Amino acid sequence: MTNLYAPPRAAVRDIADPVAKTVLADRGTRLGANILDGLILAATVVVPLLVFGMVGAAARTPTNDPNAGGILFLGAVLALIGLGVWCWLTIRYIQQNGQSIAKKIVGIKVVRADGSRASFGRIFFLRNFVNALLGIIPFYGILDSLFIFGESRQCLHDKIADTIVVIA
């Protein structure tokens, strides 16, 4: 005889465990992506400032060329355009798949610790902004980086944001 007051029973087989599919990114790939992100930012923002700054300074020094100010202005404009492009690509990739430009290139992404998608706000504010604020503490950057050698491969900023970096 069946119990009319018993809870319903069903075999649910279509729910996948998101953690089972995640493979943590190795430490070297994460380091490489971090360095590559810095190089991309430097190439798009710092290089135009340096190149046009040096050219403008060289034009101004010996002959007092009146176009030197225009050359410096051009460098600043190109740096702002580079910063805008870098920001646009970074925001776009983070919103799409939790990746920075370099993370997309090397094939890794940021997700929540349970394997679910990490929101843009979590990545930007908790993982980056809070981490940048904590960066004023002496030796924090070194401590943050050393946490990656733990079993979970999470830096301190990953622990703050409850995120992990996995193979995309």
How does pLDDT run across 21-65, given as a tens digit for each residue? 689 999 999 999 999 999 999 999 999 888 887 877 776 665 666
User: Is the confidence at residue 18, as pLDDT, over 70?
Assistant: no
User: Is the confidence at residue 101, as pLDDT, over 70?
Assistant: yes
Provide the residue count of the chain: 168
Q: Which amino acid is at 73?
A: F
C-alpha–C-alpha distance, residues 151 and 164, integer Å? 12
Predicted pLDDT at 63? 63
C-alpha–C-alpha distance, residues 90 and 95, integer Å? 9
Predicted pLDDT at 54? 80
Tokens of 17: 């465990």
Gyration radius of the chain over CA positions: 24
The whole model's pTM is what? Answer: 0.77
Predicted pLDDT at 25? 94
Predicted pLDDT at 39? 95
Helix or strand (DSSP H, E) at 167? strand 163-167
User: Is the confidence at residue 12, as pLDDT, over 70?
Assistant: no
Least confident piece of the model among 6-15, 101-110, 152-161: 6-15
User: Is the confidence at residue 67, as pLDDT, over 90?
Assistant: no
Instruction: Provide the CA 2 distance to its chain's centre, in angstroms.
Output: 56
Identify which of 122, 131, 104 has the alpha carbon closest to the alpha carbon of residue 163: 122
| Per-residue model confidence as pLDDT tens digits over 113-163 | 999 999 999 999 999 999 999 999 999 989 998 999 998 899 999 999 999
Predicted pLDDT at 17? 55
Judged by DSSP in three states, 67 sits in: coil
Judged by DSSP in three states, 13 sits in: coil
Helix (H), strand (E), coil (C) string for 105-130: HHCEEEEECCCCECCHHHHHHHHHHH
